[in-house]
Structure 1
Amino acid sequence: METVTMNDADTPLMKQYKKIKSEYSDCILFFRLGDFYEMFNEDAKLASKILGLMLTKRQQSPMCGVPYHSALTYISKLINQGFKVAICEQVGDEDTKTKLFKRKVIRVITPGTIIEENLLNSKSSNYLCALVVDIVGWGMSWLDVSTGEFYSINNLDDKNFNDLNSLISRVSPKEVVADSKTIKFLNDNRINFFRDNIYEFHCDFSSEPAWSNEPVWQNNKLALKASMLALSYIKSVQPEINAELKPYYYDDNKTLKLDESAIKTLELVEPDYDGGHSLFDVIDNSKTAMGSRLIKKWILNPLYDYYLVNKRLNAVDYFYQNDEAVEKLWDEISRIADIERVSGRIINMTTTPADLIGIKNAIKRLDDIKKLLNENGFVSVIPEVVRKINSLDTLKNLFKLIDEAIDENSSLKVGEGELFKKGYSADYDELKSLISNSQGIISGIEQSERERTGISSLKIGYNSNFGYFIEITKANISKTPENYIRKQTLTSSERFITPELKSIEEKILSASEKIKKLEQSLFREIKDQVLLSLDELMEYSSCVAYIDAICSLAYTARKNQYVRPEIVSDDIIEIENGRHPVVEQFLPPQSFVSNNLNFNENLRSIILTGPNMSGKSVYLRQNALIVIMAQMGSFVPADKARLGLVDRIMTRIGAHDRLVRGESTFMVEMKETSSILKLATKKSLILLDEVGRGTSTFDGIGIAYAVLEYIHKNIGSKVLFATHFFEITKLAEKYDGVENFNISVKEWVNSKGKTEISFLHRVVKGSADKSYGVHVAQIAGLPEECIKRAREILNKLETREIDLNTTTNVLPLFSSNPLIDKIRMIDLNKLTPLDALNILNELKKEADE
C-alpha cells in the first residue's frame, strides 16, 4: 500500500508530484492520495487562505487537503476566484518496486470549461470564448462545453471593434483565450473589453480539421482560426474528449445589437441590485433548464429580420390560441431531463448512470411528443421542429440498450457491483451470483465443520487482517482437527484457517474485485455506444428547448395579458397603453399607469421632462423592453403595438459598475454618448437619461443640447431624451420632428396651507413648468430647515431676469456676456495672488478677442 511521507523532499511521491506540477504550473494541482486531494507548497498556501483549510507543514513543505467526495465544493470556490484547477488521479495499480500508483491529470477545470452540474447555473450558458485579431479584422468563437453549443464568426469591417464589443456583451463568456499576436495587438492598441481577464494560449493553426474544407470556413478564415483556437484549448484541458466538435457560422447581421450598457441598464437578464428582478425573471416560465437558457439567448439576441420575427410570433400566437393541446405537450416536455447538458458530458466522456436513465426516460416520451405534434397542427408553425422529432426513431435503439443494461433500482454508481441488470452480461451475472451467494457458501462450510468436529459453537468470521477464519472456544480446543492452522489466540478462543477456507475466500474476494473492473469496462462500452447517438440527442434537446421556450412565451402572454405586436416595414414605433413588463408585476393589479409612444417620420425625438420619481426612467425603459420583446418573438405588454424593425438599442442611463474601473461618472457618460453618436443609424432607438448631469450646469446644458441636436440633424434615430435641463426643450421650437412631453403632476394646497404634489405617471404633451426637486427632497426626509432654505434660494434664482430668447444658432446661456458669468463663478476667498493674475490675464485675452 502506498504510504505518504514528507520526511524526505525527494521521496518518489514528491518527485512524482513535482514532475506533474511542473507541467501545470498555472493551475492549482489537486493531487489524489487515497481518499483526499492534497495540495503542496505554494498551492497549499494559496488554497488554504481561500478555502479556509488548516495548513500543515512537513519538513518545510506546506500541505493541505480536501476529501475527494466533497472536492467540488472547494473547486467551485477556486473557480469563482478565477483560478484553474488540475485534477490529478490515480490511474493504475500500485508499482511493486516504488510502491507508487501511476497518476496523471485527467482534466483541468477552468471557468469556461466547467461540465459539473452543481458548478453550473442551470438557466445560463457557460461559454469559453476564443479571439483572433489581425490587421484585417477579427474572428471569435464561443463554445459551451457543457452542452456542445459552438459558434464562430469573423468581421472584416469593424475598425473600432464596436460590433465585437456588442457581441462579447451578449455572449458574456466566462473565460477568454487568445493567441500571442492577438494579445499583443490588444495591448498595443489599449483595447480592454475583457477587463484583463484574457489568457494567452498557443495554437498550431497549420493543422486544420476536416470540416475546415467547407466553403463557409474557407471564406471566413478568421472565424476558422478562432474555432481552432477554442478546440485546441478545450482538448488541452479535457484530453478525454472523443467527440469531434464542429462550429456553426453565426450571422450577426440578423440580430438587433445590444451593448453592455443596454443589457445592464434595461436589466435584461440580471437585476441592477440585489433583490431586484430582470426581464428574464418575468417572461421565463420554462419548465426545463434547456428552455430557460434559450429564452435568455433570445432576450440578448433579438431578431433583425422581418421573416424570422414573424415566424416566431406565428408560433407563439398558435400556442397562445391552442392552450389545451399545448398544455398536454408542455406536460410531456416538462418531464424531460436536461439532455442538452447530458450531451456535454457525453462529449467529455463523463456520463453517469443517472445521465443514461435521464436519456432513456427522455426517449421514452418521444412517441407521445411526436403524436401530440402531428395531431394538433403544430407542423404549420414549427415545421422544422416537427420534422426533426419525426426523424429521431434511431434513438429507440439507444433506449433499448440502456433499458436492458442499467438497473434503475441500483445505487447508479459505477464500481459497486450492482449497476447492470441480470441477463445483460453472462460473466457479470456469474460474478454477481458468487458474491451474493457468498454468505450462503460460508454458512454451508460452517455447518459442515460443526458436524465434522462435533463442536456446535464453532463459527466462521471475517476481518480485514487475515480474511475468513474459524473460531473455536478454549473449552473445545481439544477437538480441533489436525488440518486447522492457528492464526490468532484470544482470551477465550482460538482462530484458525484451512486451505479449503482460503480457497473459497480467494474466489469470493477476487469476484468482488473482478466485478468492479468488469462493471467499469461494460459502462465504458455503453458510453461509446451513446456517443454514436450524440447528434440525434443534440437534435432532440434543441427541439425540446424550442418547444418549451415557445410554450413559456405563450403562457406568459396569457398570464400577463400581452398582445401580439404587428411588425411592419415602416420606420415607426406605435405603442398604445404600453406597460413596463417588470415593474407592473410588483404593483397591485391594474395600478400601473400605461402610456403611449408614437414615433414616425414626423416625430423622431421626444424630450421628456418632469420631476424625479415621476416615472421618466420607467417610461424610457419600458418602450425599449417592448421593442426587444417584440423582436425576440414575444407578445408585449400593451393594448396595441406596431413596430418597424430596430437595428440597435443604445442607452445612456447611469454609470453601472464602471466606476470601479477608475472612470468618473462623467467620463463614463461621455464615452457611452460618444459610442452612441458613432454607431447609431436611422433605424436605431436611443435612450438618453440626464445627459450632462455629471458636470457643471453650463457644460451639461451645452453638451445635452448639442448631442440631441446632432442626432436629430445628422442621424435621424428615434430618441427618448429625459432631462431636467428645461433649456433643452427649446429644440422643439427650432426643429420639426422634435416634441416636448412631460410626466404630469397634480399640485394642491392642503387644509394647513401646505403645498402637496402627486405624481400621476401619465406622459402628456408639453414641457414641465417645474422640477419639484424641493418637494422630492421633502418626501425623502430632509430636515425642514434645509427645505425652507432651499425654497428661499429657489425663489431668488427664479426671480432673476434670464433672457433665453436668441436668434442665433448657439445655445443660449444664462447671461448675454460669458465674461460676466466667468467672473461671477470666481471664488475670491480661495484665490492666491498668482491665481488672480493668471485669471485676469485670461479674461483680458478673451476681452481683446
Structure 2
Amino acid sequence: MAKQTPMMEQYSKIKAQHQDAFLFYRLGDFYELFYDDAVMAARELEITLTKRNNGSSEGIPMCGVPYHSAENYIKILIDKGYKVAICEQVEDPKTAKGVVKREVIQLITPGTVMESSMLKEGENNYLASLSHFTDGSFAVVYNDLSTGETRIALITDGWDAVIHELYSQPIKEIVVSSNLPEQLQTQLKDRLNVTLSYQDEVNFNAEYRNLSENINNDERLMKAFSRLLNYIQFTQKRSLDHLQKAEVIELKDYLSLDMYSKRNLELTETIIKKGKHGSLLWVLDQTVTAMGSRLLKKWLERPLLSKTRIEKRLDIVESFYHGFMERDTVREALKSVYDIERLAGRIAFGNVNARDLMQLKKSLEKIPELKAALYQFSKQEMTELADALVYPEFLLDKLEAAIVEEPPISIKEGSIINDGYHEQLDKYRDASRNGKQWIAELERKEKEETGIKSLKIRFNRVFGYYIEITKSNLHLIPEGRYERKQTLANAERFITPELKEKEQLILEAEEKSVDLEYQLFIEIRELMKEHIPELQHLAEVVSTIDVLQAFATVSETNNYKRPSFVDNKLHIKNGRHPVVEKVMKDGAFVPNDISLNEEKHILLITGPNMSGKSTYMRQLALTAIMGQIGCFVPCEEAELFIFDQIFTRIGAADDLVSGQSTFMVEMLEANHAISHATDRSLILLDEIGRGTSTYDGMALAQAIVEYIHDHIQAKTLFSTHYHELTALEESLSHLKNIHVRAEEDNGNVVFLHQIKEGAADKSYGIQVAKLASLPAPLIDRASTILKELEGGEAGKMQHQNVHEEHSIKEEQNSQLSFFIDSSSEAITEKQSKGEHKVISELKNLDLFDMTPLDAMNALHKLQKSVRK
C-alpha cells in the first residue's frame, strides 16, 4: 500500500472517529469525499465519481460538492437516513505549518437537523433516546432541536408499550445503548423506520441542571435525559442555550392510542398514501402559523383525560366561535407571525441571519394587535390568553433601530445595519461613499481633460481601481500623465498615485465597515439569545391561540357543535364522519345517532359491505378524539364519555415487515385490545374472524364478544357478517343489535347508510360484487349456487359443527345448532334411533375436504333418511 500524503493521513484520522457518517472534508470551495464515502455519495447524490492520485497506480475514489450549495446535498442524504460530519479548517492557512488543521465542527443527523430548508414547517423533527433498566421499565426522551422542546416519559408496561409510544411520534432518529438487545434494536429499525444511533457514555452535565428541574431526581429519567444531552453535545459541539426544561409526560393523563388505532383511524396521515390529505389532521388544520400546526398535531396524538382541561379549551373555542369578527382579526394578525419557536432555536444555535431577525421583528410587531383583539372578547379565559402575550419589548426597539428592512442572507458581507445605529460605522460608510463619489468625479475630469470620451475608471479585486483606455485612444494621453499597469488585447490599464491613495482609503473603510457590521450583528444576536425563554413562552401562547381559533373556524365552517361530557353513557344525535363528509358532495353524507350506556355498552352491527359500517365505527372514535382535544364535534348534539383508551381493528392488511398474515395481524390487534382495555375504553372491532375458516372465525368472534361483555365491560362496536351472532342479544344482557339499512331493487342493492335497531336480514354480497362490475355470467352462477346452498335445510345446518367436540359430549341432543334463533328446531330426547344414527354420520363428515356441492348432497341424503 502506497504511503499516504499528509492531507490524506489527516482525513483518515478524522474519518476513523466518524465511521457511521459521510465525512464532508473541506478543501477550498468544495467539500470532498474519499474512499467508500465517495462511492456511496456518488450513487446517492447522482454526482460524478473521480479518482485522486495518492502515489498509487489505482488512485483513491473521490467526489465533491460545492461549499455554497452543500446544504442541498446534505438534505438528500439526511432524508435517506444518513449522517453527515462537517469537517472545516480551524486555523488560518497563512499561519499554518504543514497541513491546515481541520476538525468536525458539527455532525448532522436525521434527528438533529437545524437548517430550515431541511425541516417541514408544520411538523416536529424529533430525536428520541431510549434507556432500559433492570426492573423492566423503559424511559423515552423526545427532543426537537429546532425548537428546544424536550419531553420525557417512563414506560412500565413492557416492550410492546414502548413500540406503541414511539410509533405515535414523528421520530427520525433513536439514540440507544449498544447493550440494548439486538432483537429490540432490529424491531426499532424495522417497525419504526428510523436511524439508530448509540451513546454509551452517560454523564450529566451540571451546566444543564436547570433543564432537569421537573424530573424530581428520578434516577431512571435522569439517566435517559443525560443520554440524549450527551448525544446532542457530541453531535452539535456548541452551546445549546435554547433547550427548554424537560417536560415529564404522565401517560396516564392522556387518552392512549396504540399504533394500530392511530394507523386505522388515520389521525395524521392516510394508510395508503401516507399523506396528510384525507386525515383528521387535514380537516382540523385551520391554523395560520407553522408552530400552531405543530401543536395541533401534538394535541391530536395526546387527547386529554382531564374534564377540567377539556372544558377550558372548549370555553375558548366557544368564544372564538361566536366572536367571528374578532376571530378574523386574530387570524389576520397571526398571518404576519413567523415561526418564533424555530427562530429562537436558530438564534441560540448561532445559524440565524439578518432576514431571520427581521421575521422576528415583524412577528413581535403583531403581538399588540393580537392582544387587543383578544381583549375585545371580554371573557376571562380570553383575557388570560391576552395577558400571557408578553415579551421584552425593548427587543423590538433594538431590531427596529439596528436591522435594515431588506437585509441580505449573508451576515459577513455588510449591508445589514441601519445608518445612524452606530457612529463609527457611519464614519466608515461616509468615507467609502465619499471616496466613490471622488472616483466618479475623477472619471468625469479625466474625460474632459484628455478628450477621451470612452475613458472608464473600473475596479477588480486583483488590481483595485484603474483607468482603462482603448488602444485606439492611446495617442490622446498626455505624456507622463498615467502609470501603465496592464496591457489587454484592445485596451491599456493605468493608475495614478492619487487614485491608489483614494483606493486605500475606500477599501480600508469598506473592509472595516463590513467587519464592524458583523460584530454588531453578533452583539444583537447575543442579546436576543439572553431572552430565548421569554420568546419560547410567547411562541407557546401564540401556538395555543392559533390552534383554538382553528377549532372555532373549522367548527363554524362544518357546523360542529360543542359536546358535553357525562359519566357512564354516550349519546350522539345525527353524528357525522368529519373526513368522509368533507370529501363527499354537499349533503351526500347520511348522519346517524349512536347511544352507549351501562345497560347496552356493546353494539353488534350487521349489514352489507359498502353500506357504511366501518365509517359508522370510525366516526365515533374520531368524534371522541375531537372532543377530548377540545374541539367541537360533527353532530347536532353530543353527550360524550371520556375514554381512557381507544382500540381499533378495522381494515385488513398483511404486516410484511414482521412476516405476519392478515389474520395474524387481526388476532394481534384484537389481543392487544382485550388485554389492555378497561371499562372506560372504546373498542372497535370490524369483521373479526374473516381471515380464517367460517367455523374458526365464527367461534373466535363469539368468544371475543362474550369476553368483552363478561370481563371488560368496555364500550364496544362490533361489526360482522356472521349473522348467527345476532342471537347473542338473547343471552348477553348488555349487547344490542343494530344494522345498516339497505334495500334490493330488481337484483340491485341500494345502500341507505341508515343505522336501525335490530339485525340485518342478509349481507347482499353478490349484489356488491355486481356493483364491482364482475362478469355477468359469474354473477349469475354465484346467484344460482347461493340459492342451492340456501335451499332445504342446508342453509340451516352449515354452521352446526363449530364446537362439535364438546357440544355433543355435553348436550348432544340440544346443541346441534350453535346459534339458536326462532327458526331453529330443538332436538328433543324423543328423537328416534334413526335420528341418532344421522347425528353420528354427520359427526364423521370431513367438511373441510368436501366441496359445497358435495356437502349439500351429503346433507340432502341425511335429510331424506330422517324423513323416512
Q: What TM-score, normalized to structure 1?
A: 0.89
How far apart are 1:529 and its partner, in Å? 0.6
Kept in 1: contact 2:355–2:408 (CA 8 A) = no
Identify the residue that residue 298 of structure 1 maps to in structure 2.
Answer: 299
Identify the residue that residue 845 of structure 1 maps to in structure 2.
Answer: none
Q: 2:572 aligns with which of 561, 575, 582?
A: 575
RMSD: 3.1
How many Å separate the matches in 2 of 1:561 and 1:606? 27
- Are residues 528 and 34 of structure 1, via their aligned partners in 2, closer, same or farther at CA, if it must alter by over 3 Å? same
How far apart are 1:648 and its partner, in Å? 0.2
Identify the residue that residue 331 of structure 1 maps to in structure 2.
Answer: 332
How many Å separate the matches in 2 of 1:178 and 1:465? 54
Name the SS of the counterpart of 1:762 in structure 2: strand
Kept in 2: contact 1:183–1:200 (CA 8 A) = no
Tell me which moved more, 272-281 or 137-146. 272-281
How many Å separate the matches in 2 of 1:287 and 1:297? 16
How many Å separate the matches in 1 of 2:839 and 2:640? 45
How many Å separate the matches in 2 of 1:475 and 1:363? 60
Name the SS of the counterpart of 1:94 in structure 2: coil
Q: 1:417 aligns with which of 414, 419, 436?
A: 414
Identify the residue that residue 831 of structure 1 maps to in structure 2.
Answer: none
- Are residues 196 and 703 of structure 1, via their aligned partners in 2, closer, same or farther at CA, if it must alter by over 3 Å? farther
Tell me which moved more, 802-811 or 496-505. 802-811
Kept in 1: contact 2:451–2:476 (CA 8 A) = no
- Of all paired residues, the percent bearing the same amino acid is 38
Map 1:519-598; keep pairs closer than 5 Å.
519-568=517-566, 570-598=567-595
2:283 pairs with 1:278? no
How many Å separate the matches in 1 of 2:537 and 2:815? 62
Q: 1:40 aligns with which of 5, 25, 34?
A: 34
Name the SS of the counterpart of 2:267 in structure 1: coil
Identify the residue that residue 315 of structure 2 maps to in structure 1.
Answer: 314
Identify the residue that residue 836 of structure 1 maps to in structure 2.
Answer: none
Kept in 1: contact 2:487–2:493 (CA 8 A) = yes
How far apart are 1:430 and its partner, in Å? 2.9
How many Å separate the matches in 2 of 1:190 and 1:731? 42
* Offset from partner CA, 1:97-147 (integer Å, 9 cap, x none): 668655433322211112222222211111111111112212111111111
Identify the residue that residue 743 of structure 1 maps to in structure 2.
Answer: 740
* Offset from partner CA, 1:187-234 (integer Å, 9 cap, x none): 699997645743222232354555369774234322222222222212
Identify the residue that residue 233 of structure 1 maps to in structure 2.
Answer: 231
Identify the residue that residue 633 of structure 1 maps to in structure 2.
Answer: 630
* Offset from partner CA, 1:573-601 (integer Å, 9 cap, x none): 21111000010112222221111111100
How many Å separate the matches in 1 of 2:495 and 2:206? 65
2:358 pairs with 1:357? yes
Give the partner amino acid of 1:220: D
Identify the residue that residue 148 of structure 1 maps to in structure 2.
Answer: 148
- Are residues 818 and 524 of structure 1, via their aligned partners in 2, closer, same or farther at CA, if it must alter by over 3 Å? farther
Name the SS of the counterpart of 2:761 in structure 1: coil
Give the gaps of 5 or more residues in structure 1: 1-7, 750-754, 829-849
Tell me which moved more, 471-480 or 673-682. 471-480
How far apart are 1:346 and its partner, in Å? 1.9
2:772 pairs with 1:780? yes
Identify the residue that residue 846 of structure 2 maps to in structure 1.
Answer: 823
How many Å separate the matches in 2 of 1:516 and 1:42? 41
Identify the residue that residue 866 of structure 2 maps to in structure 1.
Answer: none
* Offset from partner CA, 1:583-626 (integer Å, 9 cap, x none): 01122222211111111000111111111101111001001101
Kept in 1: contact 2:152–2:247 (CA 8 A) = yes
Identify the residue that residue 760 of structure 1 maps to in structure 2.
Answer: 752
Name the SS of the counterpart of 1:198 in structure 2: strand
* Offset from partner CA, 1:780-800 (integer Å, 9 cap, x none): 011112112211221222221
How far apart are 1:37 and its partner, in Å? 2.9
* Offset from partner CA, 1:478-534 (integer Å, 9 cap, x none): 976669654334566544444544343344334444333333222221111110110
Kept in 1: contact 2:561–2:633 (CA 8 A) = yes
How far apart are 1:317 and its partner, in Å? 1.2
Kept in 1: contact 2:354–2:407 (CA 8 A) = no
2:660 pairs with 1:663? yes
Q: 2:711 aligns with which of 697, 709, 714?
A: 714
Name the SS of the counterpart of 2:164 in structure 1: helix
Identify the residue that residue 688 of structure 2 maps to in structure 1.
Answer: 691
How many Å separate the matches in 2 of 1:499 and 1:576? 93
How far apart are 1:706 and its partner, in Å? 1.1
Kept in 2: contact 1:242–1:348 (CA 8 A) = yes
Identify the residue that residue 824 of structure 2 maps to in structure 1.
Answer: none
Give the partner amino acid of 2:609: N
How many Å separate the matches in 1 of 2:717 and 2:553? 31
Kept in 2: contact 1:288–1:545 (CA 8 A) = yes
2:645 pairs with 1:648? yes
How many Å separate the matches in 2 of 1:515 and 1:100? 32
- Are residues 354 and 501 of structure 1, via their aligned partners in 2, closer, same or farther at CA, if it must alter by over 3 Å? same
How many Å separate the matches in 2 of 1:110 and 1:261? 28
Name the SS of the counterpart of 1:637 in structure 2: coil
Map 1:219-618; keep pairs closer than 5 Å.
219-243=217-241, 245=243, 246-274=245-273, 277-378=278-379, 380-382=380-382, 384-389=384-389, 391-392=390-391, 395-446=392-443, 460-471=457-468, 485-490=483-488, 494-568=492-566, 570-618=567-615
How many Å separate the matches in 2 of 1:727 and 1:191? 43
Kept in 2: contact 1:285–1:556 (CA 8 A) = yes
Name the SS of the counterpart of 2:270 in structure 1: coil
How far apart are 1:77 and its partner, in Å? 1.9
Give the gaps of 5 or more residues in structure 2: 54-58, 801-806, 821-837, 852-868
How far apart are 1:549 and its partner, in Å? 0.7
Kept in 2: contact 1:133–1:185 (CA 8 A) = no
How far apart are 1:87 and its partner, in Å? 2.5
Q: What TM-score, normalized to structure 2?
A: 0.87
- Are residues 429 and 553 of structure 1, via their aligned partners in 2, closer, same or farther at CA, if it must alter by over 3 Å? same
Name the SS of the counterpart of 1:576 in structure 2: strand
Q: 2:723 aligns with which of 706, 716, 726?
A: 726
Kept in 1: contact 2:573–2:593 (CA 8 A) = yes
Name the SS of the counterpart of 1:174 in structure 2: strand
How far apart are 1:376 and its partner, in Å? 2.6
How many Å separate the matches in 1 of 2:401 and 2:187? 61
How many Å separate the matches in 2 of 1:478 and 1:594? 94
- Are residues 825 and 522 of structure 1, via their aligned partners in 2, closer, same or farther at CA, if it must alter by over 3 Å? same
How far apart are 1:727 and its partner, in Å? 2.4
- Are residues 128 and 487 of structure 1, via their aligned partners in 2, closer, same or farther at CA, if it must alter by over 3 Å? same
Name the SS of the counterpart of 2:203 in structure 1: coil
Kept in 1: contact 2:24–2:31 (CA 8 A) = yes
Kept in 2: contact 1:133–1:181 (CA 8 A) = no
- Are residues 171 and 382 of structure 1, via their aligned partners in 2, closer, same or farther at CA, if it must alter by over 3 Å? farther
How far apart are 1:93 and its partner, in Å? 3.3
- Are residues 671 and 453 of structure 1, via their aligned partners in 2, closer, same or farther at CA, if it must alter by over 3 Å? same
* Offset from partner CA, 1:754-781 (integer Å, 9 cap, x none): x222011111111112111111111101
* Offset from partner CA, 1:154-174 (integer Å, 9 cap, x none): 23x32x344433322332312
Identify the residue that residue 114 of structure 2 maps to in structure 1.
Answer: 115
Identify the residue that residue 818 of structure 2 maps to in structure 1.
Answer: 812
Kept in 1: contact 2:385–2:541 (CA 8 A) = yes
Give the partner amino acid of 2:369: D
How many Å separate the matches in 1 of 2:303 and 2:488? 80
Q: Count residues with an aligned counterpart.
A: 809
- Are residues 522 and 201 of structure 1, via their aligned partners in 2, closer, same or farther at CA, if it must alter by over 3 Å? same
Give the partner amino acid of 1:769: D
